[in-house]
Amino acid sequence: MSKINYFVQQGYTILDLDYRGSSGFGRDYRTDIYRFMGIKDVESGLAGTDYLIKEHNINPEKIGVYDISYGGFFTLMPLFKHPGFFAAGVANAAFSDWAHYCYLWTSRILNLPFDDPKAYEILSPINYAAGLEDPLLIVHGLIDDNVHFQDAARLTHKLIELEKPFEVMYYPKERHVIEIQASRLDFHKRLSDFFKKHLLK
């Protein structure tokens, strides 16, 4: 059973968003986040959430945000820059500072860091961590070979310095995607318990 099906069966409404920057919708849609990654695409998410509130009577105080990898980055940005919009978020294997990721990927959207350092500064979640007001669970594999564990470690330390409350779970034997059965069971239980605590109370 997929996570979406599971959460629907638990009584949640799910919005699975194809935000700006997604492929399959034409060049303009895919490239619209050039130097606006984490801004224009997040605005798509906020607009979609407003649609659920206005058209489907979803309680605005009971909406969470979750995903993995870029979706983890997508989780951090609204939590940090739009506090109070989401009631809780889970960031799994999230990018927190683009300056530490592969330049072959980021240069297509942000240029190279030494050519365009401002873009990296204004589009990295770690620089907005002071805005966190809502419950956050950070999840990361210690041997992640895509988004390296240092992203989670640096963000965790930043939140500690800022005296922000948050939760964290690191998986010692997991890479970018949680695959070991025991780890998967543990993660899904934590994910379910976290949202049940903050969204269904």
CA distances from 72 to 67, 123, 136, 188 (A): 5, 14, 11, 16
Can you name the residues that pair with 92 across neighbouring β-strands? Answer: 68, 139
Check: CB of residue 78 under 8 Å from CB of residue 86: yes
d(CA 199, CA 184): 22
Q: Residue length, the chain? A: 201
Among residues 22, 69, 183, 192, which one is catalytic? Answer: 69
Q: Is there a catalytic annotation at residue 69?
A: yes
Among residues 82, 100, 176, 188, which one is catalytic? Answer: 176
Residue 116 buriedness (CB in 10 A; 0-12 / 13-18 / 19+): middle
CA distances from 133 to 80, 84, 154, 168 (A): 8, 7, 19, 16
Can you name the residues that pair with 89 across neighbouring β-strands? Answer: 65, 136
d(CA 77, CA 67): 12
d(CA 71, CA 94): 7
Q: Is there a catalytic annotation at residue 176?
A: yes
Among residues 96, 144, 148, 151, which one is catalytic? Answer: 144
Q: Is there a catalytic annotation at residue 144?
A: yes
What is the set of active-site residues?
69, 144, 176
